[in-house]
Structure formats: structure tokens, C-alpha cells
Amino acid sequence: MGSSTGYSALVFRAGAFERLRVALLADAPLETAAFILARSARVADSRWRLIVKEIVPLHDADYARRTESSVELHASALANVTKRARAENLTLLLAHTHTVPGSVGPSWIDRQGETAWVPAVRRRVPDVPHGRLIVGETSAHAAIIHEDGSEHGLRVMEVGDDVIVIADCCEPADTPEPRMHRQALAFGSDGQRRLEALHFAIVGAGGTGSVVGQQLAHLGAREFTLVDLDLVEESNLNRLVGATGNDVGRAKVDVLGDLIAIVQPRAHIRAIRGDICDAEVARKLLACDFFFCCTDSEGSRAVLNQFAYQYWLPGIDLGVAIRVRKEQVTHISGRVQMLTPGQACLLCAEVLDPEQVRRDLLTDEARAQDRYIDGAFVPQPSVISINSAAASLAVTMMLSAVTGVPVGTRNQRIRFEAGIVSRVAVDSRTSCPVCSPLGALGRADSFDPPGRR
């Protein structure tokens, strides 16, 4: 399988693409069309993350001609939707059906029509990409169409409680390796291929992040972005999987990258030594499909929390806490929560401490001048077996979202001293500034991105 680092993505909310497919195929074998308006976020160079804002259906009066192999629209239909795209600087895609079995792709008729309508839209809305979506009975195809007529493939996804790749512009995954046979018995060859196709980010390459990375590598994941600012210290060696005394002073992301490469030699690894609280660093996650938040700061959790909902980039936040009194452990707890559209965010779950978030997101200069900050950071207890338990629950929750492994919740709590793993029900607040439509949800770059600048 080739590297998927260079693709763009078209992201629907859970169920939205299938509803579109059913609606468009209702008049089969006649071709049917609709417009898609999407908010955009530039990933890098010609790559984008496009977040579907609205599907605009077409009516009989909008068609100038309609057959089993083509559609032609009245100019007024395109003009009306282009006006809306221009008003909000939205990406416009023309979706239409190809009612044929098997895979679908653009016909010469499609390309001929695109030479007229795509330049017209680009002149009116020049700063964002535009393109096509072709919907078949069992497959789909999507692409951004550039000014010179060249194309850039789009990975089409649905995100919510589950993460589904509907159409992939990357090379098809290989047949699962023989070493994955016992695993494929659990969630099938298709599940294995879905797992291998995703680009995972691990933010925090420490006690929990190193376990998550090791497990993803063993599971067969092949695309990784690792983010951490810190160097390995001797006090880390009790819990940093893959690290030895020779690694003291090395970047944690490099140590974890080496471990992943040993377990999964076919992995593509991007190691970023940086602070996810910096907006410039956080933005690099747009190239990924799924993240794990394995940090121990409130600020980094707040940044990733907003990022998940603003850009419809699903992830899992996990953490552990060990309470000690008079050198005796009194409580051990863990938390695993998926951050994805349709689920309550960390703010709604009252996990974040607003004051600590504020402090964490200060610049070094501002922190030095803040009279409310006093004292030094106090290290917290950390034990590898406890970290591993939380990491395993997080990775298994991801497997449920990606491959269908049955896990009946997207929010879990562990009380080790009580021997309880429980599901947690949290309702999203209708006015939440993060996970509600009144806040950052699905706003992409039309909303201030999270992180310090």
C-alpha cells in the first residue's frame, strides 16, 4: 500500500452520504444531480479538508436535459448556488449519479461539462477548491478540479460514532499480511484494510502515547503523525515503552517512531517535535484521519477538543489519575472519551479546568508576567500497567469506530480500586461553544482555530 500522506478529504456527518446516495438513486436509471456546499481548510500545498455544510437538491425545473448517461443543468441553477458559495467562501461540488454496477469515475461527458462550469465558479469563488462527486450504487468517486484541468483525488468519509471511508483516492490496500490472519478473524479482511488505510496521529509520546503507538503498529496501522515537545528523561524510563537508558536526551517522538518502525516496517512516520498548544503545530493534524490525545495538560486537551469538532477530525482523549496519601495509593481511575460530531465534548463533560487551560495556553512571556501563577510543576504518579489499561481501552474503542468491533459506548470510566469499567452518558449542551452548531462545530477555517499564536 502506498503512502496516503498526500490526499485531500471530503467529510460528511454520520449517515449524510448514505442519505444522499438514496435520494440521488431514487430516479435511477436516470442520472440525478445535487450540489454540495462545503467549508474548507487548507492542509498543505494543493491538499484540503472539505467539511460538508449543506446538500442542495435539484428540482425538475433545474434540468435542461436528463438521460440515463448525462445531465445538463440550466445556467440559473448553477448561478444561484454559486452566489451562495461566494457569499460564504464555500467550496462547490457537483454531485451526480452513475447508475452502473462496480466502481465509478468521470466520463468524457462529465469532463466536457466541467471545462465550462468549474472555471465559471472559480472566477466567482477563487480562494477555495471546487470539484465533483460521482455516486454509484455501491461505490463513489470524488476529486478537486484545478485551473489547468488536472485533478486531485478526494477521500470521501463519514464521521460520527463510526469512521467510514466511503471512497478512497489512494492505492487500494493489499491483502492483509499473513501475520494479521488471527486479527482478521476478529474483524475481517475488510476491517483490516480499513484500519491500514487510516492516518493516525498520536499527540503525546509518553506513558500512554507510547503504548498506543505500539498497539497501533501491531494492529497493522501504516500512517503515523507523532507530536511531542519533550526529550526523554531518566524518570520516564519506568513507563516509556521502547525507551532504554541510551535514549535519555532524545526526542520522545523519535523514540516512539523507532519502536513503530521495528514493529511495522512498512509504516510511514512523520515525527513533529512541537507543542500541540501552538496553533501552527495543531494545524498539521489536518493531514490525519484520527487522533489520540495522550497528553497530560489541560491546554492541549482543550486545543484537540475544539479541533475535533471544528474540523470534524475524530479522536480519543484518554487519561489516568493515581491519588496517593501518605505514600499509599487510595484511588486509581482512567477516562477514555471519543471526540467526534454527535458526541458531547470535554467541555460538556466538565473534564476541562478553564483556569488551567488559560494558563497552559499563555506564551512563555505572558506566563512569566501572570501574577496568578505561582510555584513549579509537580510530577504526578505514573505506572505503566495503569497507563496500558487506559491505552488498551482507547485503541479498542477506535477499533469499534473503524472496524465494527462491538464496544457499546464512546465514553468510558475505569475505577481500578472498585473493579469497575462503566459507560458514561453526557448530553451536549445546545449552546456549547465547541460541539454545538452555535460554536465551532464544522466551521473549519471560518472560525478562529484553536491554540496559541
C-alpha span between 67 and 133 (Å, rounded): 18
Q: What is the pLDDT of residue 45?
A: 72
Q: What is the pLDDT of residue 102?
A: 86
Cβ distance 316 to 338 under 8 Å? yes
**Amino acid code (one letter) for 383:** V
CA distances from 268 to 179, 183, 227, 390 (A): 19, 21, 14, 25
- Report the DSSP pairing between strands 290-293 and 268-272: unpaired
- Positive or negative, the Cα torsion across 313, 336, 229, 226? negative
Q: What is the pLDDT of residue 84?
A: 96
**Residues sharing a CB contact under 8 Å with residue 41, sequence separation 6 or more, in sequence order:** 48, 49, 50, 51, 286, 311, 444, 445
Q: Which of 445, 443, 447 is nearest to 52 (CA)?
A: 443
Q: Which residues of the chain have pLDDT under 70?
A: 1-5, 171-176, 363-379
Cβ distance 2 to 171 under 8 Å? yes
Q: For the purposes of burial, counting CB atoms within 10 Å of the CB of 316, is it exposed (0-12), middle (13-18) or buried (19 or more)?
A: buried
CA distances from 425 to 63, 124, 129, 139, 225 (A): 47, 46, 39, 35, 31
| C-alpha angle 294-237-363 in degrees, rounded to nearest 5 | 45
- Give pTM, 2 decimals: 0.93
Per residue in 178-228, pLDDT (tens digit) is 888 888 888 888 889 999 999 999 999 999 999 999 999 999 999 999 999
Break the chain into its structural domains and give their ranges: 8-167, 178-446
For the domain spanning 178-446, the CATH number is: 3.40.50.720
- Report the mean per-residue pLDDT for the chain: 91
CA distances from 256 to 207, 306, 332, 407, 411 (A): 11, 26, 26, 28, 27
Q: Write out the DSSP string of 329-388.
A: EEEEEEEEEEE-TTS--TTTTT---HHHHHHHTS-HHHHHH-TT--S---PPP--HHHHH
C-alpha span between 188 and 166 (Å, rounded): 17
Q: What is the pLDDT of residue 371?
A: 47
For the domain spanning 8-167, the CATH number is: 3.40.140.10
SS3 284: helix
C-alpha span between 18 and 52 (Å, rounded): 13
Q: What is the pLDDT of residue 186?
A: 87
